[in-house]
Amino acid sequence: MWELIQSNKRKSLILFFGMGALLILIGYVFGSFYNPESGGAVGIFFAIILWMILSTISYFAGSKILLAVSGAKEVTKDVHPQLYNVVEEMKIASGVPYFPKIYIIDDPSPNAFATGVKPENSAIAVTSGLLSTLNRYELQGVVAHEISHIVNRDILLMTFAGMMLGAITLMSEVFFRGLYFGGGSRYRSKSSSKNSGQGQIIIMILALVLAILGPILAQLFYFAISRKREYLADASAARLTRYPEGLANALEKIANSSYKLRSANKVTAPMYIVNPLKREGMKLADLTSTHPPISERIKILRALQQGVSYKDYQKVFEMIHGKKEKIIPDSALTESIPVAPIMGLANQNKSFSHVDAKREANDAVMKLNDYKFINCKCGVRIKIPPDYNQPIVVCPRCGTRHQLG
């Protein structure tokens, strides 16, 4: 997979300079819009500064910021043992030498993402909704998909893209707000001279077009290099777990969930395993979608009946997609060992209890929020919020007085 990692590093550089150029262009046009004489230069100056600051922040703290914006909290093994075990299994299976940090987002909508600049400081974040709706095999599929993003060095690309997308979206919002308060037109009428009039109209139109299209353009730009990555991560997950049905079921459950992810926004949306901002029947959303259609991803995974090697995935992809397109890099296709999918796990899924999964996920969120847990000898579990200020709590079932603190 070396060539893939190299190509991803190259793409990160293209993205880095491409987004920078777009940012500078937007800076120039917006600046000129507000002040035709010197605004362009000022705009460029601020855009370059912003770009440099953002790149530095992205590299050193991008994943921390994205995790914080998503409301993710880091967890230890005792907060959610099953999640920890699944991550451990997939880490070993994938051969990554570093243990990714595990985060939980308190949100009933099931979803997950991976972030980080290097595998050493990578992180996997899942929502509590994901933990309460997926069984062990489905969770394995999702975690394997996210681990694959880490192994393939997709996370640097995603983190950079997320930060740049955020900057462009922010700039166009600031521009529109400025327009709304009438700043632009007032300055322009004062400084207008006859020969700059026509150029000013062009700048004005250009600024409006950029303000509207900039964020979409940035997203399209990202889309161009991100679509294959989702397929590839699916292929790697099928191979790692040897149980493609697990990820297929998980994707189906995520897509069918009626909850909306509260913390999702335009910036973080492309990072998730399933785009949380999808709206049905919207053509523009389809066009700028950072993910391949989920139904197609599920169809490919379910068609992996003969084997789960990269070669099998490529074959099935072409069959379902109807045209030749390289999803898997050449070096991975030469893999000769046949990897058969595991059968018969479906029976074990029946032992999955929604009540248990939901209880476990809710407990994890409470532990993250510093609740104290007391197991009374009578069988009652008492969960005490951090703002509870009484020194004792009496079990209402057996009368045991539990000392706190």
Part in contact with another protein (CB under 8 A); list of ranges 65-73, 139-147, 162-170, 358-366: 358-366
Among 277, 376, 384, 393, binds Zn ion (CB under 5 A): 376
Place of tokens 């069984």: 135
| Residue number with CB closer to another protein (60 or 388) | 388
First-residue to last-residue Cα distance in the chain: 52
44: left (phi over 0), alpha (psi -120 to 50) or beta: alpha
CA atoms within 13 A on the CB side of 248: 18
Among 64, 262, 321, 358, binds another protein (CB under 8 A): 358
Asked if residue 384 binds Zn ion (CB under 5 A), the reply is no
Asked if residue 398 binds another protein (CB under 8 A), the reply is yes
DSSP tag of 340: P
Asked if residue 382 binds another protein (CB under 8 A), the reply is yes
| Residue number with CB closer to another protein (322 or 399) | 399
Asked if residue 322 binds another protein (CB under 8 A), the reply is no
Among 378, 381, 388, 404, binds Zn ion (CB under 5 A): 378
Among 13, 359, 369, 370, binds another protein (CB under 8 A): 359
- Shortest spacing between CB 393 and another protein, in angstroms: 6
Asked if residue 369 binds another protein (CB under 8 A), the reply is no
- The Cα–Cα gap between 207 and 276 comes to 30
Asked if residue 396 binds another protein (CB under 8 A), the reply is yes
Place of tokens 């992205």: 58
Asked if residue 366 binds another protein (CB under 8 A), the reply is yes
The closest of 233, 51, 79, 18 to 142, measured between CA atoms, is 233
Among 95, 322, 379, 405, binds another protein (CB under 8 A): 379
Query: Is there a contact between 192 and 204 (Cβ–Cβ < 8 Å)?
Result: no
Q: Is 146 a catalytic residue?
A: yes
| Residue number with CB closer to another protein (280 or 387) | 387
- Shortest spacing between CB 334 and another protein, in angstroms: 50
Reading the block at residue 350, the tokens are 């029946």
- Shortest spacing between CB 341 and Zn ion, in angstroms: 46
Among 320, 380, 394, 404, binds Zn ion (CB under 5 A): 380
402: left (phi over 0), alpha (psi -120 to 50) or beta: beta
- Name the active-site residue from 3, 74, 88, 146: 146
Tell me the per-residue interface mask from 336 to 375 with Zn ion, x by CB under 5 A, - otherwise. ----------------------------------------
Among 95, 344, 399, 405, binds another protein (CB under 8 A): 399
Query: Is there a contact between 26 and 171 (Cβ–Cβ < 8 Å)?
Result: yes
Cα distances (angstroms) measured from residue 254 to each of 47, 134, 299: 38, 9, 15
Reading the block at residue 51, the tokens are 């770009």
Strand bridging mode 401-403 / 392-394: antiparallel
Whether the CA torsion 117, 119, 121, 122 is positive or negative: it is positive
Query: Is there a contact between 132 and 253 (Cβ–Cβ < 8 Å)?
Result: no
- Shortest spacing between CB 390 and Zn ion, in angstroms: 12
Q: Where are the alpha helices (DSSP H) in 257-337?
A: 283-287, 294-302, 310-321, 330-333
DSSP tag of 117: S
- Phi and psi, residue 126, nearest 5°: -125, 155
Among 355, 377, 403, 405, binds another protein (CB under 8 A): 355
| Residue number with CB closer to another protein (197 or 385) | 385
Residues binding Zn ion (CB under 5 A):
376, 378, 380, 395, 397-398, 400
Active site amino acids? 146
Residues binding another protein (CB under 8 A):
354-356, 358-359, 362, 366, 371, 379-385, 387-390, 393-399
